[in-house]
Structure 1
Amino acid sequence: MKPRAAISWSGGKDSCAALHRTHADFDVVSMVTMFDESAARSRSHGLRPEVLAAQADRLGLRHAIGRCTWQTYDAVFSDTLARAKADGITHVIFGDILFDEHRRWAEQMCAANGLIAVEPLFGSSTTSLFEEWTASGADALIVTTRAALLDASWLGRPLHRGMLEEFTRLGVDPCGERGEYHTLVTNSPLFRAPLRVRTNGHVQRSDCWSLDVVLDDVRPARLETVNAGGL
């Protein structure tokens, strides 16, 4: 019997790539995403909840969300993991690649709740991962960029192999590991059907450009919410 697992899910390519690498070895039953206090936008990529719920639907997964401030992020994430543990989950999959502090955080959060962190991408070459992603049959759009490196014209572009040379020329990590860009996955070999999305304008917040992406079709998955204390 495969170990029962959840996946820490941003909606972007790295968490989806981690699922690609692990789905054959684990019984992945749910995804976990952290949102702001009102659950209007995801903390990591600024995505609408219905977009992430539609990804869960396409993958056949439950979607557990935590509502938090940045100050309560760890506590709410831990509460969400505790609920996963109570549901019989033993492992949590993460899409970390480079930074030891990110892996340590994942391991510590899981260990505190009697779970095992799984890091299938960690230590891989980001160039190799980018090439693996663009050859996988999955699709992802750029939804945020760091303005100093990638201007607003990059928003909404689908990732493709030809971008690798452009990223190298601009000093951008192929997978955006220094926050140069984030993505939204719109299709994967694991999806039941692609997401149909449209863009709804873009804004600049601080040093980042952000694209608002709206679903053209809404088929939400079942949500399980953990709220930050006092919210």
Structure 2
Amino acid sequence: MPELALASWSGGKDSMLALLAARAAGVEVRWLLAMLDETGAKLRSHGVSLALMRAQARALGAELVAPPASWDDYEAVFTARLRELAALGAKSVVFGDIDLQAHRDWEERVCLQAGLQAMLPLWGRQRPGLAHEFIALGYKARVVCVDNRFLPGTFCGRLFDADFIADLPHGVDACGENGEFHTFVFDGPGFVQPVAHHVRAFSAYTTPQRFGAVRYTFAQLEPEHAG
């Protein structure tokens, strides 16, 4: 039998490439673990609604596990879900990180606490190459959040494509690995159908002072239903 696994899931392009690589290696990624904000209505970092995250998981043939958490109890909630999924048979956790060692250290630590193995199939790859590979594979993604320290709000809501990458200011990573922007993947390899949606509005958010009072622009996506 294939090894059972879950993916630490943001719904974005790096998570998607890691999922693709794990499945290509014969791993059965049955669960997508996506962390919501305290309201339980949207993804904590990307701002994508629970309804769209569920639609994305269904299109990918996986079960969404989406607990709410604050930044203060994020690790405790995340680790608790890892333990629950380990009890259901999961052996490993797929992460989409590329080269940030602090992220890998945290991931390996929480996996160890839950008796799971951390899998990082994108680790050590070249960032620009991954961005272009994602597009070449036929994936479609929308930029749902930008950090206004790096990008103006006009970049938010755009498709993540070759034009988007070409328009990025000097010094902004093509993968957004430093948090410059986040994406929502809605079609491509592994999808049984596209996740139909449209941009309903844009909103600004400034983090609390203890997190640096950083200003972000979010695209508020809304599902589209046939008929």
Structure 2 length as normaliser, TM-score?
A: 0.92
Alignment of 1:105-124 (within 5 A): 105-124=106-125
* Equivalence for 2:147: 146
Distance of 1:20 and 1:153 partners within structure 2: 30
Gap runs ≥5 in structure 2: 207-214
Distance of 1:110 and 1:44 partners within structure 2: 21
CA drift of 1:40 comes to 1.3
2:20 corresponds to 1:12: no
Gap runs ≥5 in structure 1: 219-231
* Equivalence for 2:196: 196
* Equivalence for 1:47: 48
Greater shift, 35-44 or 191-200, is seen at 35-44
Alignment of 1:1-231 (within 5 A): 1-24=1-24, 25-167=26-168, 169-206=169-206, 207-217=215-225
Per chain length, whose mean CA-contact separation is higher, i.e. which structure has more relative contact order (CA < 8 Å, sep 6+)?
A: 1
Q: Is the 8 A contact 2:86 2:115 kept in 1?
A: yes
SS in 1 for 2:176: coil
Distance of 1:142 and 1:164 partners within structure 2: 11
SS in 1 for 2:184: strand
Amino acid at match of 2:200: N
Per-residue CA deviation, residues 54-79 of structure 1 (Å, 9 max, x unaligned), is 01100111111121111000000011
CA drift of 1:43 comes to 1.1
Amino acid at match of 1:119: L
Amino acid at match of 1:208: Y
Identity of aligned residues (%): 34
CA drift of 1:37 comes to 1.9
SS in 2 for 1:20: helix
Distance of 2:69 and 2:150 partners within structure 1: 29
CA drift of 1:47 comes to 1.0
SS in 1 for 2:43: coil
Per-residue CA deviation, residues 150-186 of structure 1 (Å, 9 max, x unaligned), is 222212211112333322x432101001111100111
CA RMSD of aligned residues (A): 1.3
Greater shift, 158-167 or 14-23, is seen at 158-167
Distance of 1:118 and 1:129 partners within structure 2: 17
SS in 1 for 2:162: coil
Per-residue CA deviation, residues 7-50 of structure 1 (Å, 9 max, x unaligned), is 01101111011111111220111100111122011112111100
CA drift of 1:198 comes to 1.0
- Count residues in correspondence: 217
Q: Is the 8 A contact 1:149 1:170 kept in 2?
A: no
SS in 2 for 1:186: strand
Amino acid at match of 2:55: A
Distance of 2:188 and 2:86 partners within structure 1: 27
Q: Is the 8 A contact 2:158 2:164 kept in 1?
A: no
CA drift of 1:147 comes to 1.5
Amino acid at match of 1:138: Y
Structure 1 length as normaliser, TM-score?
A: 0.90
